[in-house]
Amino acid sequence: MGEEVRNAAERLRKLLRAAQYPQLSALRLEDGDVADLLRVLHFVLLDSSRAVAQFLVDRGYDLYGKTDARFVESAFRLLRDEFRCFPSLSVPQFLSKQFVARRLAIVADAAAAVAQKRQELQRLKRREEAVWSPPQAAARGRRELQPTVENHVLPSAVANHAASILQHLKQQQSEGEQTARRRVRRASSETPVQVNGAAERVVPPPTPTFAVQQDGGSAPPVR
């Protein structure tokens, strides 16, 4: 038994195990038995996936009730046309006892193509069964958040800092108003008057001073 035959048989065995082939241990894959390979090819195309079998029926293929040669001929044709899998042997060569590794490879390629087609059909079915919901319905299903008073309460540290800033601003405003009033009083006391068409500044009279006499009496004010 060559290494090529052993590798081809192991690859086919893994694919059949994934497809849940019954009584896998009873197969004589390394021997290249024609009856076993025909049985495996029939299982792969018709029994491993109901979706793929229905797909082949819808495409017009009939693999039941045929002779071995007719079955292999139909199987090779659908592999070429539907799965883009091109067998490297003719029908008589596949039914012979020669080309063991190549016959195993053909059946393994068929099993891999059917598995890929099964996944493709499953994705298509899920896409068709998916229910689309409009955005409005999804928006109504979401819970709307309502603003609450707690969301607008400032922390105590921030509130105290803001209060101190307001108090400082009020104090500055009060001091500014007092300064403005003093300036107004000073300006009003020094308001110029018109004398003969010319502006003169009115100077307030000097404060009278009193001279104290030595005998204790008060003297008249000095001008």
- Could you report the per-residue pLDDT of 58-70, keeping only the tens digit for each? 988 888 888 999 9
Domains in the chain: boundaries: 1-129
Structure confidence by residue, pLDDT tens digits, 22-61: 888 888 888 888 999 999 999 999 999 899 999 999 988 8
Q: What is the pLDDT of residues 148-162, one digit of tens each?
A: 544 445 556 656 776
Span 155-192, pLDDT tens digits: 566 567 767 777 777 777 777 777 777 776 665 555 45
Rounded to 5 degrees, φ, ψ at 195 are: -125, 115
Q: Tell me how many helices (H) and strands (E) the chain has.
A: 8, 2
DSSP assignment of 132-188: P--HHHHHHHSPPPPP-GGGGPPPHHHHHHHHHHHHHHHHHHHHHHHHHHHHHHHHH
Tokens matching residue 39 = 């049985």
The answer to whether 170 touches 163, Cβ cutoff 8 Å, is no
Q: What pLDDT is recorded for position 186? A: 65
Q: What is the pTM of this model?
A: 0.56
| Residues 75/8, Cβ–Cβ less than 8 Å | no
